[in-house]
Structure 1
Amino acid sequence: MKSMADIDECETDPGICGPEAVCENTVGSYTCTCYVGYSVSPEGSMASATNPCQGPSFSSSAQALQMSMLNSIQQDIMNSTNISLPLEAVSNILEMTVNMSANVVSNSGEGGGSAEVGSVLLKISEKLVSTFVPHTQTPFNKTMKTPVLEADIQTIGPERPSNLTAVHLLAVKENIVSINLSAVADKSNGSAALMFMSLTGLDTFLSAQYFKSENATQMYSDVVSATLLWTNNTGLPEPVNFTLHHKVGPSENGLVTCVYWEESGDVKHWSTEGCMAIVSDGNSTICTCTHLSTFAVILQTEKAVQKEDPLLEWVNLVCMCVGLTFLGLAVLTFLFCTWNPKVNNTARLHLSLTLFLAYLLFLVGLNRTNNALVCSAIAGLLHFLFLSSFVWMFLETLQLFLLVRGLTKVQAIQKEGLKKRYLLLIGYGTPLVVVGVSARVLPSGYGSGDKCWLNTEKGFIWSFLGPVCVILCVNCVLFCVILWTLQPTLTSMKSGISQAKDTRLIVFKILAQSIILGCAWILGFFQSSTLLQYLFVIVNSQQGTFIFIVHCLFNKEVREEYVKWLACLCRVERPNESPQPSVSTYSARDCVVTD
């Protein structure tokens, strides 16, 4: 089977690369690349949380002075509460900050965007434009145009005409925002003000490289910013629509994505949360968002996808069919063979049954992505079946632990451990709860674009990997306790005693089974080479074969049952033959298998 356990380290640990670096997931690993203008020491090493990317190392005092001036301008403007500047002064300050920012980035030697510099520019421009907004009781409209900035401002107060339109339209550089400003004012003591602006060249600093995607990305529109003034309550009573004009021509194969600029501590990046594209044509895209911020449209185009290995596909199919055949034989053996009364096969039977159903569904349903609902159902069922198989493996180890505990008390080996109804409740109830909670928390986590399995976004894959890791760790602890407890007990027994022999054999079989099932899945975490991919496919698909060999062929009683079955099959009368006297050593009841 194909690898399903590849971890997206970038999703599960957003800070794995440290600040000012972008993380890109690869099969079995990941890479960290510093943002433009940043570097890691020593040269050639990869950035990490313990070895983060360092800020621009200015080779001259002029560069250091320019960055220092940018930070000083930002602090002075942000700390000024009643600042009032003429339009010409605002224009000059903005031009100066844009030029200094461009020099800082270009002189860093790498070119391109800079999240830190872009954020400073954004805060300076928003603060400067907000100084032109008077706090009045009547509607106020104002537009600003400078060589580097264009802004549109609209305000309304309690004294507004009854026929005032509810939806307000603001426009800058062919980009339009549509907002119900009256509804916002009703939630803010009757007054509201919206500032809609676009700073020329901001998209070169806050570039598309800060949008995490497996696809190739490019900035498809200007970067615009919409901000509510006069209020601390920035929640919107209804979504806001942005019509963002495309900077380049239409793309037939591209995916248009509406994003907003998110700053969380040292982490700055483009995010899609709360925004989505509803209409897109060759000239513009309409985005609807549940909040206000800095927005843009990013175009995603698919990277060259590595072709599937046809030999690996063929090996996967053959191995899966072989594994399913032996799993089916194991299920039939556990169901119909006559077992020693002291052997409890409940966990073993349901382990084989869940694995059989899981691999069968995986084989026929993994690629049925044409119907999203069916694909989600298949992914959810696979999640349940594979989790259930691990729970049954844990229950078998628990049964062994209870058996060994009884053995230390010199008790006879009977059908040890939990009763069957409790085993069924735990074996199927636990994975059902996990799947139910996972589906409730993130319904979109089931099914992805290329296969019907768990989505790796937002760490959803850990709803499967988390319980699996816990079960494997608990099993390891239980086996250590079992071996530690069992050693003095079996040593004190005579090796010829049947109870000691049976216990040693049971421990060996369950330990071998757990190692086979656990190691097969652990291989799924390491898929960086072709050899490991083939090894994972072969070992993981043959779990049923190992179970059949260990628990059926290695069992003397089962082998005797197989001999009886074969003898019965050989004695079946042909249609044209007359009955012959029974001279066989087997009686008729030998062909009737008891449960």
Structure 2
Amino acid sequence: MPDLNLSGVLLLDLCANHCLSITNTMLEHKDVHKCTWHKEHPRSRSMHSCLLLFFLSDIDECQRTTGICGSNSNCENTDGSYICTCLTGFSVTDPTLPPGTSNGCTDTDECLANICGQYGSCINNIGSYVCDCNEGFHIQSDATPVCQDNDECLTSSICGPDSICTNTPGAYTCGCRPGYAPTDQSKEPIPENGMVTCVYWEAGEAEGGQNGETMRWSKEGCWVAYSQKNYTVCSCSHLSTFALIMQIGEWLNRICVIIGLFFLALAILTFLLCSWNPKINNTARLHLCLNLAFSQLLLLWNDKYTDNKLACTVMAGLLHFFIVASFVWMLLEALQLHLLVRRLSQVKVIQRDGLPRPLLYLIGYGVPFVIVGVSALIYSDGYGRTKANVCWLSEERNFKWALTGPVIAILALNCILFGATLWSLRPTLANIKSDISQSKDTKLILFKILAQFVILGCTWILGLYQTNLFFQVVFIVLNSQQGTFLYIVHCVLNKEVDSLYQCFLTFFSHTICSSAPRDPEKDKRKRIDVFFIREKKRFKLNVVK
């Protein structure tokens, strides 16, 4: 009895001979439609029963009609019908009706049921949700995403030997067993303004394509779980050796910046009020101090405007401008000293050497303006609030090269100028063995060039390598005291300024001030002459009376 399978229709031919037509009967049972064609026909000479039974195939409504169940739903085909169900994370709009185009599936807000627990916050997404646990808590499994406490005491060595660890919600405490006392009694509480950072010892590839590895402290994947003045709990999302770095940054930075601003103000007043050498143009060092003072003032109040987006963006741009301007004026000061050294043994007539003031202003403020303007055009969102909660340059898209690039270029030019200055001093150094005073002046100029380069240049180099607390503290101190160092180099160690200071201090004693170096014998004779002139006038007045 052959079986024929034609286009999904199962045809069973039960008749060996040709069957003639008879009756048709349609039977229906629930969702399954069956068509039975029952035929009976008497053959010639013998009666035979012929039965022809065939089943028609089901129509797949899910494939035939797109979107038959509506959005965010699944369609399941059945024999003669179909079933609609909502996707995971979605529910039907009207629960009393089945899903469909008129009764679609919408997102279920799982956060309404406080699904993450009391130690976490729920973030609802389209079709799902995310639990963000508080510090010191974690999600144990995806099946039950409830934030649970981290039992730090499971780490047996966390409190050390002969100690007792007590787990608390989000933290833990350490105590000694009876009969034991803490071995280190020199620990001090964390200051109120102290900032703690959890870090771990990270191995990375050496820079510059060199072989080997470099080790450094990294805070990637680590956070402060709990902190108070007596102890701090660190949590890391990876297994590694980690430690705690305490940054006493805020109060130390403020004290150092205030001291540096005081000496910057003294230096600015000195450069404005005193013109002790007509051969030297003080424009570069004056504006160097001014830009340093403005940048220090902005750094002092930098964290006060992080909540105001516009103010924070403007402050970051101004800070970038003043810092770049400080380096440009440092370069101009080095150029001025270089030009002075070149003419040290040639110029006999009193005149001001160096570049004219309009050109100095154009370079000193034009170059920083162009750098900041181009940086803002390339990446306008690069100025503003950073992850460190300060108004500064963004770390995205390597935007910090807007400062690092010009700084490196200026430091390189300073090195070239320093070498050129030494080269220009060769004939001068060869001819000053008999002139002791000129030798002292030349050495003082060299000292000023080198000291200024170290003070302004190397300080910012340290800022690029703040890998531990020591370098951070050194950078804070040296960077904030740039004005103090400039005041010492250009004012305290300057004999003309020293003479003027002595003149101001003894002004009420009728001392005659001079901008030239002081000669004790000459000053003594002048004081005697002034005394006799004053007494002579007094004698004449008495005679007249």
Q: Which TM-score applies when normalising by structure 1?
A: 0.46
SS at match of 1:304: strand
CA contact under 8 A between 2:448 and 2:489: conserved in structure 1?
Answer: yes
Question: Is 2:266 the counterpart of 1:329?
Answer: yes
Alignment match, 2:286: 349
Instruction: Provide closer, same or farther for how the CA distance between residues 312 and 409 of structure 1 changes in structure 2, counting only shifts above 3 A.
Output: same
Q: Which of residues 304, 310, 318 in structure 1 aligns to 2:224?
A: 304
- Tell me how far 1:174 sits from its aligned partner: 6.3
- 1:412, CA displacement in angstroms? 6.3
Alpha-carbon shift at residue 384 of structure 1 (Å): 0.7
Cα shift at 1:350: 0.6
The structure 2 residue matched to 1:522, chosen from 429, 447, 461, is 461
Q: Of 540, 546, 553, which residue of structure 1 is paired with 2:492? A: 553
CA distance in 2, matches of 1:419, 1:526: 38
1:247-304, CA deviations, whole angstroms, 9 ceiling, x for partnerless residues?
4458899xxxxxxxxxxxxxxxxxxxxxxxxxxxxxxxxxxxxxxxxxxxxxxx9943
Matched, 1:391 2:273: no
Give the whole-Å Cα distance in 2 for the aligned partners of 1:341 and 1:586.
28
Cross-structure match for 2:450 = 511
Match of 1:423 in 2: 360
Amino acid in the other structure paired with 2:503: K
What is aligned with 1:318? 255
What CA distance in whole angstroms lies between the structure 2 residues aligned with 1:314 and 1:570? Answer: 43
> Which residue is 1:400 aligned to?
337
Aligned equivalents of 1:570, 1:466: Cα separation in 2: 54
**Cα pair distance change 1:568/1:445, threshold 3 Å:** same
Alignment counterpart, residue 127 of structure 2, candidates 221, 240, 245: 245
Q: Which residue of 1 aligns with 2:502?
A: 563
The structural deviation recorded for 1:482 is 1.7
Q: Distance in 1 between matches of 2:274 and 2:333?
A: 19
Q: 1:497 to 1:435 in 2, by over 3 A?
A: same
CA distance in 2, matches of 1:434, 1:451: 21
Match of 1:359 in 2: 296
Q: Which amino acid aligns with 1:345?
A: N
Write out per-residue CA displacement over residues 88-125 of structure 1, whole angstroms, 9 at most, x where no aligned residue. Answer: xxxxxxxxxxxxxxxxxxxxxxxxxxxxxxxxxxxxxx
Q: State the distance in 1 between where 2:403 and 2:290 align.
A: 19
Residue 433 and residue 571 in structure 1: after superposition, are their counterparts in 2 closer, same or farther (change >3 A)?
Answer: same
- 1:365 is displaced (CA, Å) by 3.2
Amino acid at match of 1:244: I
- State the shift of 1:520 in Å: 1.0
Q: Check the 8 A contact 2:385/2:392 in 1, yes or no.
A: yes
- Does the 8 Å contact 1:445/1:457 carry over to 2? yes
- Residue type at the aligned position of 1:323: G
* CA distance, structure 2, for counterparts of residue 458 and residue 315 of structure 1: 31
Aligned-partner SS, 1:527: coil
Q: How does 1:194-593 map to 2 (within 5 A)?
A: 244-248=126-130, 303-304=223-224, 309=246, 311-407=248-344, 414-449=351-386, 450-496=389-435, 501-568=440-507
Amino acid at match of 1:324: L
| Cα deviation 1:168-221 (Å, max 9, x = unaligned) | xxx97669xxxxxxxxxxxxxxxxxxxxxxxxxxxxxxxxxxxxxxxxxx9989
Q: SS at 1:435's partner residue?
A: helix
CA distance in 2, matches of 1:393, 1:250: 49
The alignment's C-alpha RMSD in Å is 4.0
Give the letter for the 1:456 counterpart: E
Q: SS of the counterpart of 2:392?
A: coil
Secondary structure class of the residue paired with 1:447? strand
| Distance (whole Å) between structure 2 residues aligned to residue 219 and residue 522 of structure 1 | 44
SS in 2 for 1:453: strand
Which residue identity does 2:408 align to in structure 1?
C
Once the two structures are TM-superposed, the CA of residue 314 in structure 1 deviates from its matched residue by: 2.4
Give TM-score, length-normalised by structure 2: 0.50
Quick one: distance in 1 between partners of 2:302 and 2:510?
Answer: 41
What CA distance in whole angstroms lies between the structure 1 residues aligned with 2:327 and 2:528? 44
User: In the alignment, is the contact (CA less than 8 A) between 1:366 and 1:378 conserved in 2?
Assistant: no
Deviation at residue 454 of structure 1 after TM alignment:
1.3
Give the 3-state SS of the residue equivalent to 1:521 in structure 2: helix
Query: For residues 458 and 151 of structure 1, what CA distance do their matches in structure 2 show?
Result: 43
1:54-73 pair list within 5 angstroms: none
Shift of 1:418: 0.9
Residues 496 and 326 of structure 1, relative CA distance in 2, 3 Å threshold = same
| Cα offsets for 1:386-415 (capped at 9, x unmatched) | 110000000111122223333476776842
Distance 1:250 1:540, change over 3 A: closer
2:284–2:329 CA contact under 8 A, matched in 1? yes
Question: Cα gap change, 1:495/1:172 in structure 2, threshold over 3 Å: closer, same or farther?
Answer: farther
- What letter corresponds to residue 246 of structure 1 in structure 2? S
Checking the alignment, whether the CA contact within 8 Å between 2:247 and 2:469 is kept in structure 1 is: no
CA 1:463–1:523 in structure 2 vs 1: closer, same or farther (change >3 Å)? same
Change (3 A) 1:552 1:252: same
Deviation at 1:333, TM superposition (A): 0.3
Query: Structure 1 pair 376/306, CA: closer, same or farther in 2 (3 Å)?
Result: farther
The one-letter code of the counterpart of 1:567 is: T
Alpha-carbon separation, structure 2, partners of 1:497 and 1:469: 38
Deviation digits for residues 428-486 of structure 1, max 9, x if unmatched? 11101111111122121111141111111111111111101110111112211221332
For the structure 1 residues 252 and 527, does the alpha-carbon distance in structure 2 shift closer, same or farther, using more than 3 Å as the test? closer
Structure whose residues are more often strand by fraction = 2
Gaps of at least 5 residues in structure 2 are 1-64, 76-85, 91-120, 136-220, 228-244, 512-525, 531-545
1:358 and 1:351 map into 2 onto residues whose CA distance is 11
Q: For the structure 1 residues 411 and 455, does the alpha-carbon distance in structure 2 shift closer, same or farther, using more than 3 Å as the test? A: farther
Match of 2:385, as an amino acid? S
How far is 1:549 from its partner? Answer: 0.6
Partner of 1:343, secondary structure, is coil
> Following TM superposition, by how much is the alpha carbon of 1:571 offset from its aligned partner in structure 2, in angstroms?
7.5
Equivalent residues of 1:404, 1:485 under 8 A apart = yes
- DSSP 3-state at the match of 2:435: coil
Query: Is there any run of 5+ residues in structure 1 with no aligned partner, and where?
Result: 1-139, 145-149, 153-170, 176-217, 222-242, 254-300, 573-582, 588-595
Maintained 8 Å contact 1:342/1:416: yes
Higher relative contact order (CA 8 A, sep 6+): 1
The alignment covers a number of residue pairs equal to 310
